[in-house]
Amino acid sequence: MENTSASTKFTGDGTVEQPAASGAPANPDASLKQRKLLTPAQETEVKELREISHQTRRVTVPGLEEILYEPIPVLDHGFVRVIDYMGDDAAIVQAARVSYGKGTKHLRGDTGLINYLLRHRHTTPFEMCEIKYHIKLPVFVARQWIRHRTANVNEYSARYSILDNEFYIPAPEHLAAQSAVNRQGRGETLEGAAAERVLELLKSDAAQSYAHYEEMLNERSDGTVLDEGRAGLARELARMNLSLNIYTQWYWKCDLHNLMHFLSLRADPHAQYEIRAYADAMLDTMRRWVPASYEAFENYVMTGVHLSGGGIEVVRRLLAGEAVTQEQSGLSKREWLELMATLGRTDQDGGP
């Protein structure tokens, strides 16, 4: 799983340092991130938050405290910031032991129990941990994200406020062509003049729609009035002229069970790259927060596979030394191909 934030170094002043984009495309976003994520005023606010230290009786996770409030860069202007959290790996076990009651305390370590819980779909103990993020993201990503209903959300309101002039423009290496074989996927990357034309259109349309947004509002995002002699269109109306790649931001809070569900869908290779970039950054925060749960999640969910009744039957026959073809399998052609890929069989004929 690629993780866009793995090598990010937090400098402590609200900016980030990343290795310069060397020849190798190891981190294709790197060149984009040599940038300020926050305004100086925002930097100061983050710094002040980070300098405060309280005493608490609550469970505390040093590895997550280390990055608390820091923006983790995602895409060209977005970020993920951990604002608060509740619980740790031990809190899962603590809650589960209420379920299990007397007698289980000495039998297993926390890790063993966490593995067991996840493998057997005992999901409620994972709901006893909670995390709160501040996220900056393009509107079309926010529209996918919000489909996850079991979370708490407060979004910056363009009904009351003026949005900033920040739009997502893909890095050239992410300008994927429409897949010819699969309606749902990306194909090759556009190159040369085709790529340049797309970037030009995205940039100029974003700039123009934003300029017209300000003209309709008769006001800039800094509060400057353009023409004192006339009224501006209501903010709740003017915003409709903005394009879906404009950045918005929200507070998003979720329990660990639902976070894992979100990540299992959005850090998946089938998810659109842009939301996956956020999910990857959040996977890293999860690893810092609840390392035992993270490892179990990687093993059982992220790298695990689900086989249908028909699929597992094919596996059993193959293991018994039988040659099985798609025709004999009872699987559809599509499911057969998916199964062979899962089993790592290049011959695709299921021969033993």
Q: Which residues carry out catalysis? A: 266
Among 215, 288, 291, 348, binds its own copies (CB under 8 A): 215
Among 242, 260, 279, 283, binds its own copies (CB under 8 A): 242
Minimal distance, residue 116 CB to its own copies, in Å: 8
Q: Which is nearer to its own copies, 34 or 300 (CB)?
A: 300
Residue 336: Cβ within 10 Å count: 22
Ramachandran category for residue 305: left, alpha or beta (phi over 0 → left; psi -120 to 50 → alpha): beta
Among 2, 43, 110, 298, binds its own copies (CB under 8 A): 298
Is position 221 an interface residue for its own copies (rule: CB under 8 A)?
Answer: yes
Q: What is the DSSP letter of 190?
A: P
79-138 residues in contact with its own copies (CB under 8 A) are: 84-87, 91, 94-96, 98-104, 112, 115-116, 119-121, 124-125, 127-128, 130, 132, 134, 138
Q: Which is nearer to its own copies, 2 or 298 (CB)?
A: 298
148-187 residues in contact with its own copies (CB under 8 A) are: 149-150, 152-157, 159-162, 168, 170, 174-179, 183-187
Is position 276 an interface residue for its own copies (rule: CB under 8 A)?
Answer: no
Is position 194 an interface residue for its own copies (rule: CB under 8 A)?
Answer: yes
Is position 231 an interface residue for its own copies (rule: CB under 8 A)?
Answer: yes
Options 20-28, 30-38, 245-253, 286-294: segment touching its own copies (CB under 8 A): 245-253
The tokens for 281 are 């950054």
Is position 230 an interface residue for its own copies (rule: CB under 8 A)?
Answer: yes
Is position 10 an interface residue for its own copies (rule: CB under 8 A)?
Answer: no
* Residue 299 one-letter amino acid: N
User: Helix 309-319 crosses helix 333-343 at what angle (to 10 degrees)?
Assistant: 50
13-42 residues in contact with its own copies (CB under 8 A) are: none
What value, to the nearest 5°, has the Cα angle with vertex 53 and ends 47 and 56?
A: 145
Q: Which is nearer to its own copies, 73 or 87 (CB)?
A: 87
Q: Which of 263, 346, 291, 177 is nearest to 1 (CA)?
A: 263
- Which residues does 178 contact at the CB level (< 8 Å), separation at least 6? 186, 187
Residue 229: Cβ within 10 Å count: 7
Q: What's the number of CA atoms in the CB half-sphere (13 Å) around residue 176?
A: 12
The tokens for 111 are 């890790």
Is position 56 an interface residue for its own copies (rule: CB under 8 A)?
Answer: yes
The tokens for 199 are 């970037």
Q: Which is nearer to its own copies, 20 or 231 (CB)?
A: 231
Distance CA 84, CA 63 (A): 13
Distance CA 212, CA 161 (A): 16
Is position 209 an interface residue for its own copies (rule: CB under 8 A)?
Answer: yes
